[in-house]
Amino acid sequence: MDFRFDEYEESYRQELRRFATRVLAPHYQADDKAARLRPALVKEMAGMGLTGLRIPERHGGEEASAVVAGLAAEEVGRADFNATYLIINTALISDVLVRNATEAQQAQWLPPIASGDVIPSLCVTEPGHGTDAAKLELRAEPDGDGWRLTGEKTSITLGMSAHTGLVLARTGEGGARGVSAFYVDLDDRYVTRSAFDDLGSRSIGRASLHFDGLPVSRDRLIGDEGGGFVSVMQGFDYSRAIIGLACLGAAQASLDEALQWARDREAFGQPIGKFQGVSFPLAAHATYLRGARHVCYEALWRKDNGLDHSTEAAMAKFWAPKLSTEVIHQCLLTFGHLGYSAESPLGQRLRDVIGLEIGDGTAQVSKLVIARNLLGRTYAP
């Protein structure tokens, strides 16, 4: 058992930290205030290979391991939490395409994602169907040799900026087996977008997308008709660990700042770190962060080694965002009135990380997955 990154991984981690600190961190708060995706951000990320991490080299990507994708999310999350959505989205979507699309489809769709010329989005959630995604209602109605998509998707990450969407739509009756996956262009007169006014992560442009009979040709179908739900859900199993590490990166940055503040700030003639009421909560949260981090990387390691990782990914998804929210909150309190100021990044990190306690699977669903894997479906909810 070896808990260290190998030489390449450690070198890459240090390179990413320098990049994120120099290029991304200065824009984190300004992008939130502007509530828009900074135009240069995608190309900056692509220049470091961050939009093509899980894309094969033959299609212009890095062909990186799942562990390296998680490492990238953690390091970027330390500097600009919202920039990690470009890692999370592209890693998940490209992984689904690599596993399920034809070689011709991959050759057409993956290189523009890797280069940053195309921003993809995952279009699953609907107004009446979030957690219960197998019951989705957006329909793909037969039209000649293709379909027309009609309905609404909501809470779409990068929905205001995305050029393409991996869309789950109903092609048959019933539940999951009647759902197919399509990769479609969103810059079309048959698609309209409505932006959300969110508490946090305002720069990522969460949106609702309205499909008014969007024509979709047969070559836009991913995999088999009726197989879309399963193919996308399988991708979530490892992307949830990447999400966990993005949150932990933001929490670790906050903890590092709070620890330094505990050294620098004096009260009653001594550093405030001398007081157990200050130092013990930080010590406890450092311990919890270490544990959650190991769970996330174990899930990704298992993915890389072809082992089942659904339990570990579910543990990472419910624990890491919740823990990160608690850690950042404690760090804000450690700074006192200065932490409550908008000049501090702590408040924004807190608002931003809370969003991933909801998105990509609630804690209740994660615990359900864990319980079923531990007990067996016969003995679990």
Options 3.40.50.1110, 2.40.110.10, 3.40.50.2300, 3.40.190.10; CATH of 121-226: 2.40.110.10
Per-residue model confidence (pLDDT) at position 285: 98
Neighbouring CB atoms inside 10 A of 4's CB total 7
What residues does CATH 1.10.540.10 cover in the chain? 7-118
- In angstroms, rounded to a whole number, what is the distance separating the alpha carbons of residues 187 and 209? 11
Per-residue model confidence (pLDDT) at position 238: 82
Per-residue model confidence (pLDDT) at position 189: 97
- In angstroms, rounded to a whole number, what is the distance separating the alpha carbons of residues 239 and 123? 15
Query: Over 80: is that where the pLDDT of 245 sits?
Result: yes
What residues does CATH 1.20.140.10 cover in the chain? 233-379
Structure tokens at 278: 């200050």
Per-residue model confidence (pLDDT) at position 98: 96
- Assign domain 233-379 to its CATH superfamily: Butyryl-CoA Dehydrogenase, subunit A, domain 3 (1.20.140.10)
Mean pLDDT, rounded, for 287-292: 98
Per-residue model confidence (pLDDT) at position 111: 98
% the chain with pLDDT above 70? 100
238 class by beta-carbon count within 10 Å (0-12 exposed, 13-18 middle, 19+ buried): buried
Query: Over 90: is that where the pLDDT of 170 sits?
Result: yes
**Closest by Cα among 132, 239, 133, 141 to 190:** 141
Mean pLDDT, rounded, for 124-135: 86
Whole-number Cα distances in Å, 230 to 22, 175, 177, 308: 40, 11, 8, 15
Whether residue 62 contacts residue 55, with contact meaning beta carbons closer than 8 Å, is answered with yes
pLDDT-derived band of residue 174, with 50, 70 and 90 as boundaries?
A: confident
Check residues 238 and 295 and name the one with the higher pLDDT: 295
136-150, 157-171, 193-207, 229-243: the lowest-pLDDT one? 229-243
pLDDT-derived band of residue 237, with 50, 70 and 90 as boundaries?
A: confident
Site of tokens 């903890």: 255
CATH of domain 7-118: 1.10.540.10
pLDDT-derived band of residue 179, with 50, 70 and 90 as boundaries?
A: very high
Per-residue model confidence (pLDDT) at position 243: 97
Question: For the segment 63-80, what is each residue's pLDDT rounded down to a tens digit?
Answer: 999 999 999 999 999 999
Phi, psi dihedrals of residue 126, rounded to the nearest 5°: -125, 165
